[in-house]
Amino acid sequence: MTLTIPRLHLEGKIAGEDRHIVLSDGRKLGYSEYGAQRGLPVLAFHGTPGSRFMFRLAHEPARRLGMRIIAPERPGFGLSTFQRNRTLADWASDMVEFANYLGLKHFGVAGISGGGPYAAACATLLPSRVTATALINPVGPLCAPEGPEEIGMTRFVMFRVLPRVNLAMQGFFGLWRFLFLNAPDRMYDFLKKRACDEDKRILHQPEIRRNFVDSVSEGLRPGIHGIIQEMRIFCRPWNLPFDAVKAPVLLWQGMLDRNVPVPASLHLARIIPGCELRPVEGAGHYWIFEQIEEVLKAIVQKMSEHLGTATPVEDHVSS
């Protein structure tokens, strides 16, 4: 399958171009950048499955707001080498090495859907470096006492039963991968049919369709080890020190979401001290594709407040 990658200009470079670093243990970590090269840095974590392409739609809004969106891929997705037996804490360690490579002392973090737990891990384990955290329709903790007991039958099967049956996961996600790589339009239409009405409207837009298919297809291109591992990570205890969070945390949740367990997402907002919950009434899982700029504005504001700059958004915009 040939991906249709648009050329997005990043101050003399091509935004979204393939980049990678080699970590200290020899693993490759792939990433792309969007927005303003010298803007406020935010490490943005894709969904599950997903890839560095997910944040292409954020390029122009981020550029206008003076934000530098850096989108690393987790192990087993896109360009990043698979890592056995990894944990949420392992990702925070990778982000320390990654940020040091980029020369970033402080940075914001944002996680969409399956990227949410990884943003939460950075907020809790790297409190001296994270300046704000944005959780957008995140997967929340699913095991008691961190998570709620009731998450709905469909999500119960997907997040608590399926990850415990290896053959079932291999068959399920193996079929997903085959269809996304060989019949992406058919797979996309299937996902759209099971979405809520508002999500159907959003997913019908050609640019969103292309970005979604490209992101998921690239995430699954290396195989299904990454997504299987993530489903297991989600359904285990997170063991994160939530009380260690120092920077502001914002959590948006579409209340008609059919992808992530909404009760677990709302519970995550309750167990993070000071987390500001912003329910999105009448919205499903994909509202972010139409409201990226509003979310980015909120992140800029919280980062500026935490850093004590009180700098107007416009002053961050690079010429």
Per residue in 86-105, pLDDT tens?
999 999 999 999 999 999 99
d(CA 125, CA 148) in angstroms, rounded, equals: 23
pLDDT of residue 311: 44
**What class is the 8-306 domain?**
alpha beta
Tokens at 202, concatenated:
């959003």
Long-range contacts of 20-29 (CB under 8 A, 24+ apart): 20/79, 20/80, 21/98, 21/101, 23/94, 23/97, 23/98, 24/97, 26/81, 27/75, 27/80, 27/81, 27/83, 28/79, 28/80, 28/81, 29/72, 29/73, 29/79, 29/80, 29/81, 29/94, 29/98
Domain ranges of the chain: 8-306
Contacts of 23 (CB under 8 A, 6+ apart): 29, 94, 97, 98
Tokens of 142: 């699913």
Contact 240, 124 (CB under 8 A): yes
The per-residue pLDDT for 166 is: 81
Contacts 24+ apart (CB under 8 A), 293-297: 293/61, 293/64, 293/65, 295/134, 295/136, 295/252, 296/58, 296/61, 296/62, 296/65, 296/67, 297/65
Which pLDDT value is given to residue 246?
Answer: 96
pLDDT, one tens digit per residue, over 183-209 is 999 999 999 999 999 999 999 999 999
Q: Assign 252 a pLDDT band (cuts: 50, 70, 90).
A: very high
- Is 253's pLDDT higher than 60? yes
Say yes or no to pLDDT of 160 above 80. Answer: no
- State the CB neighbour count (10 A cutoff) for residue 273: 11
Torsion of CA 139, 145, 148, 151, to 10 degrees: 70
Give the pLDDT mean for 229-258.
Answer: 95
Convert the pLDDT of each residue in 272-308 to its tens digit. 999 999 999 999 999 999 999 999 999 999 999 998 8
Which residue in 71, 32, 92, 95 sits closest to 238, CA to CA?
92
Cα separation, 90 vs 87, whole angstroms: 5
Distance of CA 21 to the CA centre of its chain: 20
DSSP E strands: which ranges in the chain?
A: 8-10, 13-15, 19-22, 28-35, 40-45, 67-72, 107-112, 130-136, 249-254, 276-280
Q: What is the structure's pLDDT at 315?
A: 37
In whole numbers, what is the pLDDT of the chain averaged over residues? 90
What's the pLDDT at 153? 67
Query: Looking at residues 149-167, what average pLDDT do you find?
Result: 72
Is the pLDDT score of 7 beyond 60?
no
Chain segment 42-60, per-residue pLDDT in tens: 999 999 999 999 999 999 9
